[in-house]
Structure 1
Amino acid sequence: MSDNLPPLLPCPFCGNKANIAMANEKHDHSGGYFIACPACDASTGLRYAMGDDPRPLLVEQWNRRAAIEADRVSRDVPAEWFALLAEARQYVYDEEGYCIEPDLACAIEDVDAMLSAAPQPQPVQAQPSGWQPISTAPDDMTEPVMVFWIDSDGAPMREFDYKEDGCWMGWHEHAEHVHVIGGHGVSYTPPYTHWMPLPSPPAEQAQKEE
């Protein structure tokens, strides 16, 4: 039998990477082969040499389960779902490794595929705090923010405004009003240099509003 086998992935049950190995139940290698984790005693079932080397199939079985577990963790799929599939697989193959329940095997693979296709959890983006450069303001806002600029007299100015489709709506309405009444000197481009998100309302006040 060839020893040119793929490396074994970490244990799918405890994550151990050390000393995971394939062994034979008998010292003379006449028995069934299995893969075991020394940290948690998890192991595959026995597979026997029935004309073909059973070890590549064992490695594939172990690594597939390890890859599925790693994918489950990354997608935050409940471990109980995969535990049920692992239990069901025990009834698919006989001791020699032959599939005796093809319909069940197909059903298990279909469920595996659906679980593997579960959407990845989206990382939660940290809410910016403090003054931010105006260029970083999002083009669409669900609530007002505070904006800052220095006026022509050198005085620091603060105001509330919000953006919709890239337009600062408060300033746009102000400039529109000035132009309607015949005023001059107000650009539709706001002079804002910085913006800052508003803090969450006090808990007590929020409860009263609810």
Structure 2
Amino acid sequence: MVTPAHQWPTGVALAPERRLALIEWAADRDAVIIEDDYDAEFRYGREPVGALQGLAPDRVVSLGTVSKSLAPVLRIGWVACPPALAGPLAEHKHRSDRGTPTLDQLALARLIESGRFDRHLRRMRATYRARRAALLTALAEHAPGLRVTGLAAGFHAVAHLPAGADEHRVVAAARARSVGLYGMSACRASRAATPARLVLGFGDVREQSVVEGVAAIGDLLTDRRRSTGP
């Protein structure tokens, strides 16, 4: 199972050569790849990344959802799979939950067919792009020199803390100032806190709150207190 368009939590896209290697691996082992394309609608600054399924439709099961584009509470997603798997997957879906509510699906279909879903996506892309810009501007002002990656799509960025920084201490100090940060260590199987990185979410935070939050913790992100003393 992979997230080739925008990996969580690093935010990177799977390189073309690695996509081809993955397809080759699946073909050699008669395997199936599950592609979780969970936030493809929210990409900034360049054209959307092509789906892995387009390279090998007989080997890739592609998953999509409206949890990011509309609301998780709708519980609506979809599967695009090789024809041979369509029947078994549909049967398993039916046995597992007796089906997704029909009215919700019909409402979503009408939203898509009418063009209102596309208009909604354009409006929300502009909203999230503005929050992303506010985050970058605030970081440039209050944490100059901080390396930030993973911003091509989605609703979060990855901040690379300076060498020698203690990820856990930075998170604790920020929360003492009422700013919620999340360390990359929580996303690692080993729970290793090095290299020290932070996952900065901006999806449900207004622009002003983003600016105020970064201003409150800028010294923690660049570790300026170590160089200037207590």
> TM-score per shorter chain, which class?
under 0.3
TM-score, length of structure 2 as denominator length = 0.22
TM-score, length of structure 1 as denominator length = 0.24
- Structure having the larger proportion of residues in helix: 2
Higher relative contact order (CA 8 A, sep 6+): 2
